[in-house]
Amino acid sequence: MVERVKDDMGGAAAALDFDAELMLRVKEGDGASFGVLLEKHRSSVIHFLYRMVQNHAVAEELAQEAFLRVYRSRVTYEPTAKFTTWLFRIATHLALNALRDGKNERSQERLDDDSSDMPVRQVSDLRPSVEQSMVYQAKLAEIRSAIAALPEKQRAAVLMHKYEEMEYSQIAKVLGCSESAVKSLLFRAYETLRARLAHMA
């Protein structure tokens, strides 16, 4: 399917972000292209939402809603930005609303809880010792906890910058602010994280 779409691209369409080209095909009624987008981005969206809302079930629910909104918007879709920018703008909006609406009502999982049911990105198995593994997991849990304690927009900016490797311009479009505001958010967030995690240096 992906190869067929690639082979068909030409002219101005070839200059488009490949995800945007797929979305334009969804707009034309190609359901298979939506399946490709869903398969490609579902895991990263769930990871992002999980780190935002700290609850796996809610992250799954919000990811489903995000892709549902993408699909519902197919008729009016125009590739004015990268597809991932548009997708993460939807996901971030949903996450911020969920945090504001249910912060004091929903019991949230801690980021350092056992999340064995959460989809994980594949990494090479270096087989560390049990002790090394425990130290690593403890440090990872502390870093996740420190990120989770950040104000919501700072947390979103850090997750997109550090985990999704987005550029300032992309994060600015997702959060609906200027690049200088993004840099300010990230500066304050990283200063806070450095202070909280200084003992780990």
User: DSSP readout, 67-95?
Assistant: HHHHHHTGGG---SS-HHHHHHHHHHHHH
Higher pLDDT among residues 137 and 8, named by residue: 137
pTM: 0.75
Q: What are phi and psi of 105, to 5 degrees?
A: -110, -30
Is 127 a residue whose pLDDT tops 70?
no
User: What is the token pair recorded at 11?
Assistant: 């002219």
Is 12 a residue whose pLDDT tops 60?
no
pLDDT in tens, 41-97: 999 999 999 999 999 999 999 999 999 999 999 999 999 889 999 999 999 999 999
CATH 1.10.10.10 in the chain: give the residue spans: 130-201
- Range 1-108 classified under CATH 1.10.1740.10: yes
CA–CA gap between residue 68 and residue 54 (Å, rounded): 21
CATH 1.10.1740.10 in the chain: give the residue spans: 1-108
- Band of pLDDT at residue 15, cut at 50, 70 and 90: very low
CA–CA gap between residue 59 and residue 55 (Å, rounded): 6
Section 181-188 average pLDDT? 96
User: What is the token pair recorded at 197?
Assistant: 């995690």
What class does CATH assign to 130-201? mainly alpha
